[in-house]
Structure 1
């Protein structure tokens, strides 16, 4: 299996960060958290969701946490707002005290956490009583079309590529699994909903170029290929993606979102 890299902010933005921003806006409208609240963004990456919180949710402050130094550097450069702080940390063991945040969110992160059950419990732990705990992940099985087209073509050329396909690897990209994860974390009022946005590429090169950035499973796979096989994959994709009269390609990107409410009165496990 090709090594997955999550470190270069600009390459990630071109690949999926730009589409995450669109989903993030719809996600925050769905949550409808009142203004003036304290937010935590777990797995903040390059700051896409953090910036969207600042733009649409009128927070008192936002703390973004991520494991990648490179992504955190990008986030600090991109999100220049005095209400925002970024901190290195692991979603499975947050370096934060209990019941601190009114809204705890995570965008496109839980699939890549080794133990998502631990991460969900941590998100619930740091939420204030009655606070919102929510996340979203891509529907890798079918609804994230830019990746679905890619992996269907890749596995046709190279059946071994199936082991990297997020639709096969990540059971959390299904609504039932997300609902169970939140319920098992002790959260109440659990709701799951689809969020869909359009991803429009100026032309085929605009679709293909981000796969050469090396950030994430699909780009990592592409860059590990020999040039002949990489070219074959590129041309197969070109033949399958329908372009409009102006050459643009429009696909659907669907994410599954889950939210719940932190209960009152559970035992604290405060950390320094």
Structure 2
């Protein structure tokens, strides 16, 4: 990933991210937690916690002993902390240098973060270090290559309007969006009983504005690209995107979103 690509990956304003992707990431987090079927009374660690969606879901539905969420974005951590349930804490910290002792947690999870870390393999090894023997390490990422319809439509429209956008397309940039790649990453980290599964949720928009406006948030690769683009380019992208959408008679747009989840246990 080049420095030019990285400068579009803006993660600072938690409320803006919530408007962009939060409504869909919450649905995926709930399905992911159901799949984990972790028992009560466990110590959870949420690595790359973002705005706290996954940590809050674990606190609400898994009867944990404690939940700690860490993220390198102070803005995201501040957003997460505002809605922190009892027994849940959030810290600004690096996923590749977790501020926790060895074997101090029972479960380490990560939601939609791995592709944005400089060294995902190092982050997975850090999560392994943080859980006890027999502890669970799990994560999920968007299927940028094939299963994230709204982003596929956006980047197709962006490339039509601006050929330079091709280098920023998330389906090309992020290799960790396939089950085989995720499974190999977990196995190489020394985890056992590794398994993967898709998590599919519907993404329904009331109309073009409902879909388009969150792309103006400036948070994430696609919004970051639009924020830096001239107004004329943004207008062309919007027009090209509108032409590609399956619009129903009532003006709504129904697309799909797929993530891939992976889990394994420390020896």
Aligned to 2:195: 191
Match of 2:165 among 153, 161, 171: 161
Gaps of 5+ in 1: 264-272
Match of 2:11 among 6, 9, 30: 6
1:229 and 2:250 correspond: no
Aligned to 2:61: 56
Offset from partner CA, 1:175-195 (integer Å, 9 cap, x none): 111011101111001101110
How many angstroms apart in 2 are the aligned matches of 1:194 and 1:72?
28
How many angstroms apart in 1 are the aligned matches of 2:104 and 2:150?
37
Aligned ranges 1:240-255 → 2 under 5 Å: 240-255=244-259
Q: Do the aligned residues in 1 keep the contact of 2:204 with 2:252 (CA within 8 Å)?
A: yes
Match of 2:72 among 67, 83, 97: 67
How many angstroms apart in 2 are the aligned matches of 1:165 and 1:229?
16
Q: Partner of 1:55: helix, strand, or coil?
A: helix
Offset from partner CA, 1:87-114 (integer Å, 9 cap, x none): 1111111111111111110000010000
CA RMSD, Structure 1 to Structure 2 (Å): 1.0
Match of 2:37 among 32, 38, 54: 32
Q: 4+ runs of 1 displaced by more than 2 Å?
A: none
TM normalised by structure 1 equals 0.94
How many angstroms apart in 2 are the aligned matches of 1:102 and 1:131?
5
TM normalised by structure 2 equals 0.96
Offset from partner CA, 1:139-182 (integer Å, 9 cap, x none): 00110111111011111222221111111011111111101110
Match of 1:202 among 175, 184, 206: 206
How many angstroms apart in 1 are the aligned matches of 2:252 and 2:16?
21
Match of 1:215 among 215, 219, 230: 219
1:23 and 2:28 correspond: yes
How many angstroms apart in 2 are the aligned matches of 1:19 and 1:203?
16
1:84 and 2:88 correspond: yes
Q: Partner of 2:138: helix, strand, or coil?
A: strand
Q: Partner of 1:98: helix, strand, or coil?
A: coil
Aligned ranges 1:111-150 → 2 under 5 Å: 111-150=115-154
* Per-residue deviation, 1:253: 0.5
Aligned to 1:266: none
1:109 and 2:120 correspond: no
Aligned to 2:242: 238
* Per-residue deviation, 1:245: 2.3
* Per-residue deviation, 1:78: 2.3
How many angstroms apart in 1 are the aligned matches of 2:179 and 2:214?
28
Q: Partner of 2:222: helix, strand, or coil?
A: helix
Offset from partner CA, 1:223-252 (integer Å, 9 cap, x none): 111111111110111111112222211111
Aligned to 1:95: 99
**How many residue pairs are counted as aligned between the two chains?**
262
Q: Do the aligned residues in 1 keep the contact of 2:160 with 2:240 (CA within 8 Å)?
A: no
